[in-house]
């Protein structure tokens, strides 16, 4: 008998947005409802205010909203400390550890928080994340693959998760996966025929993580993509939750 897959979403958010989607998830009750419909047990969650406006405010709102909800694991949006909007990396990491933060996200573009991912700007922060094995999630619709390579080269021990990828990114993903053991790919948009199968054939299940990108997409679509992939059940379970659980277990060495 096949075991039921346990899904752990690495890519979803709560909170209102300036341009709400048809499926707007403003609170944890709404997200929990969508997770139950899709059969998702746990999720890494960040707040839209932290992404779209002010990271410290959005991060504090997130902790308030998901307090005492064990199925939700907090993700903070972070920026370099130079303008005193966020604590210096050492102090920031101590606070994150104390509050159970499981990953961070960065939005460096002009339409978001407007800073550089290069070491002259973000190096101290990235090095602190690397030293504590705190996973960094970057949205490939926000950053470039050159940004990804820059971080992988400068911070090779940093667990780097690239979200919202699709099979159309394979010509970037494949050469990077060949050279980097700490690069992970979130698969919510791998809808091409055989896309997941080819990745697993070439690289195994290790670098792949389940995600939904809710509320922009539905959780059921992401669940179906992995459930019906033509790969081994043990590979499906690793992607559904096992790989992400291992990354989290290796934090704060």
- Domain ranges in the chain? 7-249
Answer yes or no: is pLDDT of 3 > 80.
no
| Residue 216: pLDDT band with limits 50, 70, 90 | confident
pTM of the predicted structure, to 2 decimals: 0.96
pLDDT at 115: 97
Architecture of the domain spanning 7-249: Alpha-Beta Barrel (3.20)
Cα torsion through 112, 117, 118, 122, rounded to 10? 100
pLDDT in tens, 70-91: 999 999 999 999 999 999 999 9
List for the chain the helix, strand, coil content (%; round to 5): 45, 15, 40
Residue 233 has pLDDT above 60, yes or no: yes
CB-based contacts of 48: which residues, under 8 Å, 6+ apart? 13, 14, 15, 16, 17, 58
pLDDT number for residue 77: 98
> Average per-residue pLDDT in the chain?
94
Express each pLDDT in 158-204 by its tens digit: 999 999 998 889 999 999 999 999 999 999 999 888 999 999 999 99
For residue 9, what pLDDT band results from cuts at 50, 70 and 90? very high
- Look at residue 58 and tell me whether its pLDDT is greater than 60: yes
- Per-residue pLDDT tens for 34-57? 999 999 999 999 999 999 999 999
Parallel, antiparallel, or unpaired for β 40-47 and 208-209? Answer: unpaired
For the cut 60, the answer to whether the pLDDT of residue 94 exceeds it is yes
Per-residue pLDDT tens over the stretch 127-138: 999 999 999 999
In the prediction, which pLDDT does 193 show?
85
Half-sphere exposure of 206 (CA within 13 A, CB side): 10
């Amino acid at each position: 008998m096949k075991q039921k897959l346990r899904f752990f979403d690495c890519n979803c958010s709560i909170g209102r947005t300036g341009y709400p989607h048809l499926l707007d998830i403003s609170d944890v009750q709404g997200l929990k409802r969508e997770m139950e419909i899709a059969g998702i047990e746990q999720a890494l969650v960040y707040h839209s205010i932290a992404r779209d406006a002010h990271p410290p405010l959005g991060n504090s709102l997130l902790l308030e909203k998901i307090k005492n909800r064990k199925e939700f694991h907090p993700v903070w949006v972070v920026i370099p400390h130079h303008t005193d909007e966020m604590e210096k990396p050492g102090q920031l990491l101590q606070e994150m550890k104390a509050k159970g933060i499981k990953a961070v996200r960065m939005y460096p573009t002009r339409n978001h928080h407007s800073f550089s991912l290069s070491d002259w700007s973000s190096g101290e922060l990235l090095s602190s994340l690397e030293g504590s094995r705190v996973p960094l999630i970057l949205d490939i619709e926000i950053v470039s693959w050159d940004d990804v390579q820059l971080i992988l080269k400068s911070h090779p021990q940093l667990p780097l998760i690239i979200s919202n990828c699709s099979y159309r990114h394979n010509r970037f993903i494949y050469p990077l996966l060949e050279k980097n053991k700490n690069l992970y790919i979130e698969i919510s948009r791998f809808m091409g025929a055989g896309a997941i199968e080819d990745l697993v054939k070439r690289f195994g299940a290790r670098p792949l993580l389940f995600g939904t990108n809710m509320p922009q997409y539905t959780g059921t679509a992401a669940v179906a993509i992995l459930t019906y992939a033509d790969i081994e059940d043990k590979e499906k379970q690793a992607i559904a939750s096992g790989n992400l659980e291992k990354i989290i277990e290796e934090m704060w060495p």
